[in-house]
């Protein structure tokens, strides 16, 4: 009796599945992307990001400037001309200070900090940690909370970064955020507030208007 060809193919496929035979030469639970190292211009891998941040925070000079509460604002791949070794560009925010820090880290077999510099706070992008810290400052302001008139546990803060050209304005040297509050799907009117994380102060309270 002639066995149809498609039955033979199906039998072979089922046998491979039942015996756990690896496909394409890879072990079970292992993909090609997990085994191959990144190309020269690929984005940073999760492992590279972790290693770069760990290296900076472990450096005594960097740790002294950053302190314990510095947050990683961004980390990106940095392509350096005529260099084959991969590099990472890290920006740190220091909430209590009017400055941040930038670190360039060489990755690979001999990881090291190539450059570490203090930068203006305006050069550091906003992070979720900044938003949460600004909301904590606003919640600690009794006058603002009285005007808000609702439970803060129901509210979700959103924020915009504020800059100014006026040297007499606290936000010129500070790190200011314009907080907007949302209650479920709706924004809360007359609840916006400006918070300076450098001084931990509420600068403008609009809830009373």
For the chain, the structural domain boundaries read 46-123, 128-205
Q: In this predicted structure, what is the pLDDT of residue 165?
A: 86
Cα distance from N-terminal residue to C-terminal residue, the chain: 91
Q: pTM of this prediction? A: 0.62
User: pLDDT digits over 95-114, tens only?
Assistant: 667 688 999 999 988 999 99
Angle 178-184-155 from CA coordinates, rounded to 5°: 50
Q: Are 124 and 73 in contact (CB under 8 A)?
A: yes
Lowest mean per-residue pLDDT among 19-33, 72-86, 102-116, 188-202: 19-33
User: pLDDT digits over 115-138, tens only?
Assistant: 999 998 778 888 888 899 999 999
Q: Do domains 46-123 and 128-205 have the same CATH topology?
A: yes
Displacement of CA 115 from its chain's centroid (Å): 21
Nearest-CA neighbor of 65 among 57, 75, 74, 73? 57
CA dihedral 55, 59, 63, 66 (to 10 degrees): -50
| Arithmetic mean of pLDDT, 186-194 | 91
Q: Which fold has domain 46-123?
A: Nuclear Transport Factor 2; Chain: A, (3.10.450)
Nearest-CA neighbor of 49 among 71, 76, 68, 30? 76
Span 128-205 CATH architecture: Roll (3.10)
């Amino acid at each position: 009796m002639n066995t149809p060809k498609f039955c033979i193919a199906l039998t072979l496929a089922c046998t491979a599945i039942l015996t756990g035979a690896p496909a394409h030469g890879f072990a079970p639970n292992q993909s090609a992307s997990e085994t191959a190292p990144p190309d020269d211009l690929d984005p940073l891998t999760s492992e590279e990001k972790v290693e770069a941040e760990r290296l900076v925070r472990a450096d005594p000079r960097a740790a002294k400037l950053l302190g314990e509460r510095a947050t990683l604002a961004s980390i990106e791949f940095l392509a350096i001309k005529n260099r084959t070794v991969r590099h990472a560009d890290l920006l740190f925010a220091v909430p209590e200070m009017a400055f941040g820090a930038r670190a360039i880290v060489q990755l690979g077999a001999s990881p090291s900090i190539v450059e570490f510099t203090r930068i203006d706070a305006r050069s550091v992008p906003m992070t979720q940690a900044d938003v949460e810290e600004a909301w904590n400052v606003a919640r600690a302001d009794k006058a603002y909370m009285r005007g808000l008139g609702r439970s803060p546990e129901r509210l979700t803060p959103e924020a915009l970064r504020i800059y100014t050209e006026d040297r007499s304005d606290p936000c010129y040297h500070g790190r200011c955020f314009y907080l907007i509050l949302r209650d479920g799907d709706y924004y809360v009117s007359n609840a916006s507030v400006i918070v300076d994380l450098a001084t931990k102060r509420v600068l403008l309270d609009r809830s009373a208007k």
